[in-house]
Each structure stands twice: as structure tokens, then as C-alpha cells.
Amino acid sequence: MFYKILTVAGLATFEIYAAIPAGFAFGISAWTIFFATVIGGLVGVFIAAFLGKQIQQYLNRFRKPKPKKENKNALIFKIWDKYGVIGLGFFGTLTVGAPVSIGVGTGLNVSIQKLLIWCCAGVVTRCALFTALGHYGMKLFD
């Protein structure tokens, strides 16, 4: 049972959408799935936040500078223009995921502390929402 929970938390580090169905497939209770995905999701947020800058600096050593061409029509930029750091952290995490939101926030020079707070709130909300949907969806088949 411990390895199943660890697998769910490990999947949530990268993608919560894969972790929650895996938890239900393993036969784990909804509360355990929720806590495992929250822990895994928060670990993923902190990995993206604290290692993202180092990875970006490492890769920039090998790249030639190019003029930046941003796609202002992308969903994440629309969220940024309308809602700012709260939208990028919270709504961005709900829609495209925390690593993408943190990556865009790093590119936009957003305060990482504020972004982390809202990304963590987004991860908890996302886990609660999709675990509840999965739990009650599974009740339909019982």
C-alpha cells in the first residue's frame, strides 16, 4: 500500500491529472489520494520554483541570444494581463499546471514568493476538486 501511495505522490509531482486516476485504479481511499496528490503537487511546485532558475541559467550558457518573440495570444498571457500574479499562480495552476505557471512567471520576472503562495493554493484547490470529482464519479459505478 505504501508503494501505491508513493506512486500517486510521485505522479502528482509531474502531473496531477495522471495521479488521481491512478490512485483510484490502485483502490486507494479518496482522502489518501487527496493528501498524496497535494504533497506530490507541492513538491513539484517547489522543484519547479527553485530548480527552474538554475536550469534556465545552465541552458542559457549554451544558447545564442535571440530577440524575444512572445505569443501574446496564448492563454497564460491573457490570464497574466487580466489577473496578474494571482491569476498566473492560481488560475494558471488550475488550467495549465504549476510548472508552466512558474516558468512563465520566471520569464515575466514575477516575485517568486508571491507566485509560490498562489501556486500552492491552486494545487490544493485542483487536488480537492479533481479528487472529489473522481470519488463521486466512482460512486456512480458502485
Cα 73–109–64 angle (5° rounding)?
A: 80
* Cα 91 from Cα 138, distance rounded (Å): 26
Query: Considering only 3-17, 67-81, 125-139, which range has the smallest mean pLDDT?
Result: 67-81
DSSP 8-state secondary structure symbol assigned to residue 97: -
pLDDT at 73: 62
Cα R_g (the chain), whole angstroms: 17
Q: Which three cell numbers stand for residue 18?
A: 495522471
Q: What's the whole-model pTM score?
A: 0.79
> Minimal CA–CA distance to 134: which of 3, 28, 1, 5?
28
Phi first, then psi, for residue 29 (nearest 5°) are -65, 155
Q: Going by C-beta distance under 8 Å and a sequence separation of 6 or more, which residues neighbour residue 89?
A: 101, 105, 114, 115, 116, 117, 118, 119, 121, 122
pLDDT at 67: 62
Number of independent structural domains in the chain: 1
pLDDT at 132: 94
Structural domain range at position 110: 2-139
- Read off the pLDDT of residues 48-95 as tens digits, 9 standing for 90 and up: 888 877 777 777 787 776 666 555 567 767 777 788 888 888 988 888
